[in-house]
Amino acid sequence: MTIDHAHDTHHHEEGFFKKYFWSTDHKMIAKQYLFTGMFMGLMGGFFAYALRMQQAFPGKTVPLYGVVTPTLYNALATNHGTIMIFWFAMPVLIAAFGNYLIPLMIGVDDMVFPRINRLSYQVFLLSAIVLIASFFVPGGAFGGAWTAYPPLSANANYNLTPWGASLWLVAVALEFVAFLLGGINFITTFMNSRAPGMKMFDIPMVLWTIIIASILFMASVGPLIAGAIMLLFDQTMSIGFFDPAKGGDPVLWQHLFWFFGHPEVYVVLLPAMGIVAEVITVFARKKLFGYKTVFYTMVGTGALSFVVWAHHQFIAGIDPRMANLFTITTVLISIPIAEMCFVYIATLYKASIEFSTAMLFALAFLAEFFIGGVTGIFLGASGSDIYFHDTYFVVAHFHYTFVPIAIIGVMAGLYFWYPKMFGRMMDEKLGKIHFWGTVISFNCIFIPLFYTGAAGDQRRIYNYQNFPHTNTEFLSDLRTFATISMVSMLLFQIPFLYNFFVSMKKGKVAGKNPWKSNTLEWVADSPPPHGNFKELPEVYRPPYEYSVPGRAQDYWPQNEKA
């Protein structure tokens, strides 16, 4: 049987197209998502570059871009947000890592619905193409913010982007379809085809987080898909679901959007927390502190995240009494989140830490996320949100959650699983340059923006010279400093990209288990062949048995019999 399988994979040499575009292999689909996501992420980064340059040097020609007019500024800001969440964070964190890791870590040969999986990526690719196309239609891309509040988004007379607005909406809806298909596949695979012996609490935390995230996504996105269709009707047929002149209500959209939008934060947060759990346990040679506690806090956070959405709408004209309710639920989220942070810190207690690049990113995730977490309280508390709402304080806060999630967390995962994905090691020296450059630049961007926000800078303003009070020299200097740091952060991705692509050919050969890790993906060859395992593994123990007393080795793979 062993030999047969190996023979099998060598026999069917697929053509280029079939191998790279029509594959049903979960690992190839993961890479498709990864590369598409990385490409879109670079595009989103470039948009941020153009709009930050306009803020620092208003009206000047931006190198590599050109002049940023108010219309373009809005389109860039809108699509920067949309891309970074829907076309970068989600595809990389959930689709790429989920597709790659789920079958390998539960010890099976593929997903249970490989063709649905392929379709999921194809729909996703289509959605990306539609979004990019929206920049080239008459009127240009949609610029009504990533939240797309009507009536602005519903009526071309107001947004002046008759095509852009609809294409944006269609792209987002298609992206949701892709992730619904992917989610069905993930959950089914996870529930039905784990390796023999793998019980619920033997599953590595990262898989739990991806599965909980998929469930959160699927449970929250329904209302927004309905909302998107209603908005599309408003745009194309002037039905007026959100038009007060026709008896509609614009605030309804906000409820539908944020009912999804808040859980979405946890849809991307949880997988990042999961990745970090895998990385810190391996490089600390420690068992994850309180596996079940982590699990329950993740479920608790997920559940709570469904009842906090109106904290985005405190001052949006909802009944002011409602704000009290949503302040309570929002502040309550600090309980499971704080618990998670404590548990991760506790995992480092009496550890034996090796500062590999992956570990540095994982630790930086925690440190930065602490800041992102606590600054959220200023916004979740109704009284202080009156002032901070829609200021740069909000921008700085959520970048202190999303950058750790989508960049720092993702990097921890990429440096960690790269040897498995490509069979070779990445260069640690370049990795450390990348790490310090990225993390220092990141803090230099957003710490000044907390201040400008507190001083009154409101969001989505292309030129603060129009507002005398925020047009001071000091605030302008802070904005310029943030911009320079932003450019520096982008430039520090060059060593990463170089390292990433060159190491595929030139890196040191990794071998099966370079980090001496316990989980099942490290049992397979690097990179794993079609079908993953020569012999499907069996599981005898939980995933984080590191430094078990009385054993010569400080790790104990899940599949090792005794």
Q: Point out which residues bind Cu ion (CB under 5 A).
A: 262
| Minimum CB distance to other proteins, residue 35 (Å) | 32
**Residue 507: C-alpha distances to residues 32, 47, 423, 499, 501 (Å):** 22, 32, 9, 9, 10
| Minimum CB distance to other proteins, residue 56 (Å) | 15
* Exposure of 250 in the CB half-sphere (CA atoms within 13 A): 15
Following CA atoms 557, 411, 422, 41 in sequence, which dihedral angle do they give, to the nearest 10 degrees? Answer: 140
Rounded distance, CA 83 to CA 87, Å? 5
| Minimum CB distance to other proteins, residue 219 (Å) | 26
Give the one entry of Cu ion, other proteins, none that residue 66 binds, where binding means its C-beta sits below a cut-off of 5 to 8 angstroms depending on kind: none
| Minimum CB distance to other proteins, residue 500 (Å) | 26
Using the 8-state DSSP alphabet, how is residue 246 labeled? G
Catalogue the E-assigned strands of 247-329: none
74: tokens are 């809005």
Give the one entry of other proteins, Cu ion, none that residue 293 binds, where binding means its C-beta sits below a cut-off of 5 to 8 angstroms depending on kind: other proteins
| Minimum CB distance to Cu ion, residue 336 (Å) | 15
- Quickly count: other Cβ atoms within 10 Å of residue 295's Cβ: 18
| Minimum CB distance to other proteins, residue 451 (Å) | 7
Q: Which is nearer to other proteins, 220 or 297 (CB)?
A: 297
Give the one entry of other proteins, Cu ion, none that residue 262 binds, where binding means its C-beta sits below a cut-off of 5 to 8 angstroms depending on kind: Cu ion
356: tokens are 């590999």
Give the one entry of other proteins, Cu ion, none that residue 353 binds, where binding means its C-beta sits below a cut-off of 5 to 8 angstroms depending on kind: other proteins
| Minimum CB distance to other proteins, residue 53 (Å) | 15
Q: Which is nearer to other proteins, 299 or 377 (CB)?
A: 377
Give the one entry of other proteins, Cu ion, none that residue 18 binds, where binding means its C-beta sits below a cut-off of 5 to 8 angstroms depending on kind: none
| Minimum CB distance to other proteins, residue 153 (Å) | 9
Q: Which is nearer to Cu ion, 262 or 434 (CB)?
A: 262
3-class DSSP state for residue 456?
A: coil
**Residue 406: C-alpha distances to residues 1, 109, 410, 420, 426 (Å):** 41, 28, 6, 21, 20
Q: Which is nearer to Cu ion, 255 or 262 (CB)?
A: 262
Torsions phi, psi for 486 (to 5 deg)? -65, -45
Q: Which is nearer to other proteins, 101 or 333 (CB)?
A: 333
Rounded distance, CA 471 to CA 458, Å? 12
Q: Indicate the helix (H) or strand (E) that contains 61.
A: none
Give the one entry of other proteins, Cu ion, none that residue 391 binds, where binding means its C-beta sits below a cut-off of 5 to 8 angstroms depending on kind: other proteins
Amino acid of residue 420: K
Q: Which is nearer to other proteins, 186 or 289 (CB)?
A: 289
Among positive and negative, which fits the CA dihedral 387, 391, 392, 393? Answer: positive
Q: Which is nearer to other proteins, 182 or 227 (CB)?
A: 227
- Which residues, 6 or more positions from 124, have their beta carbon under 8 angstroms from its beta carbon? 33, 36, 91, 95, 174, 175, 178, 179
| Minimum CB distance to Cu ion, residue 458 (Å) | 9
Q: Which is nearer to other proteins, 26 or 52 (CB)?
A: 52
562: tokens are 């005794």
* Exposure of 515 in the CB half-sphere (CA atoms within 13 A): 34
Q: Is 352 exposed, middle or buried (0-12, 13-18, 19+ CB in 10 A)?
A: exposed
Give the one entry of Cu ion, other proteins, none that residue 477 binds, where binding means its C-beta sits below a cut-off of 5 to 8 angstroms depending on kind: none
Q: Which is nearer to Cu ion, 262 or 389 (CB)?
A: 262
